[in-house]
Structure 1
Amino acid sequence: MTHVFFYHDATDRVVAAARLIGKACMQQKALLVFAPDDGVADALDRQLWLHPVGGFIPHVRAGSPLAAQTPVVIARTLDAPDRCERLVNLGDDIPPDAERFGAIIEVVGDTPEMRQAGRERVRRYREYNFPVKFFDLSGHGE
């Protein structure tokens, strides 16, 4: 069963994703990051070099010879990577074949457009009967 974790109202979606990825790495959990947009993938790549401050989160792009040995793999498509336990979705839609992942982490920004796209993804996940949990990143509560 796929579980979905929605982190919503992020002031900066990429920074919030990097923080969540960092927490997962501290728990020694490997992640596949779906970032179909080149700009988002590039921004996340840069952020993972900086987060935590003065630190580095080991990561590579899909297709790298080191992908099998690296805890975080950033992919533009989901057809190549084998790792399917945890996915961070930075796309605008639910990932293809979402049911193959044990957990999907969604990071939703605080703009009206991002909120609406997030609501649509929630609706679609619920159509698949995936349990969805919500976490407010605004600091204002649920």
Structure 2
Amino acid sequence: MTRIDFHTNIPDKLAYACRLARKAYASKARVVVLAEDAAQAEALNAALWTVSESDFIPHVLAGDPLANETPIIITADEGVPLPHHEMLVNLTRRTPALLSKFARVFEIISIDEDDAAAGRQRYVAYKKQNYPLTHFVAGQS
């Protein structure tokens, strides 16, 4: 069953997603990042090029000819074919349609109250479906 990790109280979802992608790549994991829309996907694509002066984080937008060979895929379109389903980083306010296809899902919830409310609704829905859940609150030890 899919394991779902909630990361809440995140001030900058894009920066956080970049750090998760870097950590996942370092551990040889394959990740799909689900953006809210095409603009956020493009912003994340640009941010991954500049996350660190010393790190290269190989990534492409879904549908790119190199997607099958690339460990980090960015998409805002859940209908596009994905080359792997190991980890999903959800930056949206909705439940991903392909949630159950992934071994692990990271729900990234910002400090914005509307985003937090949507995250709480997803948490309750996942709990009712008996998904294994963990919760990490940024800024707390």
TM over 0.5: yes
Identity of aligned residues (%): 34
Q: Is the 8 A contact 2:8 2:108 kept in 1?
A: yes
Cα distance in structure 1, aligned partners of 2:118 and 2:133: 15
5 Å-filtered alignment, 1:1-142, equals 1-79=1-79, 80-137=81-138, 139-141=139-141
Cα distance in structure 2, aligned partners of 1:18 and 1:95: 19
AA in 2 matched with 1:103: R
Cα distance in structure 2, aligned partners of 1:63 and 1:97: 16
TM-score normalised to the size of structure 1?
0.91
Cα distance in structure 1, aligned partners of 2:52 and 2:107: 20
Aligned-pair distance for 1:48? 0.5
Q: Is the 8 A contact 1:33 1:74 kept in 2?
A: yes
Aligned-pair distance for 1:77? 2.1
Aligned-pair distance for 1:58? 0.7
Q: Give 5+ residue unaligned stretches, structure 2.
A: none
Q: Give 5+ residue unaligned stretches, structure 1.
A: none
Partner of 2:136: helix, strand, or coil?
strand
CA deviation digits over 1:36-72, x for unaligned, max 9?
A: 4112111211111111244331100111110001110
Q: Is the 8 A contact 2:41 2:74 kept in 1?
A: yes
TM-score normalised to the size of structure 2?
0.92
Aligned-pair distance for 1:120? 0.9
AA in 1 matched with 2:39: G
Cα distance in structure 1, aligned partners of 2:114 and 2:58: 31
| 126-135 vs 20-29, greater mean Cα deviation | 126-135
Q: Is the 8 A contact 1:22 1:52 kept in 2?
A: no
Cα distance in structure 2, aligned partners of 1:17 and 1:35: 10
Cα distance in structure 2, aligned partners of 1:54 and 1:82: 27
Q: Is the 8 A contact 1:94 1:125 kept in 2?
A: no
Partner of 1:121: helix, strand, or coil?
helix
Aligned-pair distance for 1:83? 1.2
Q: Is the 8 A contact 1:94 1:124 kept in 2?
A: no
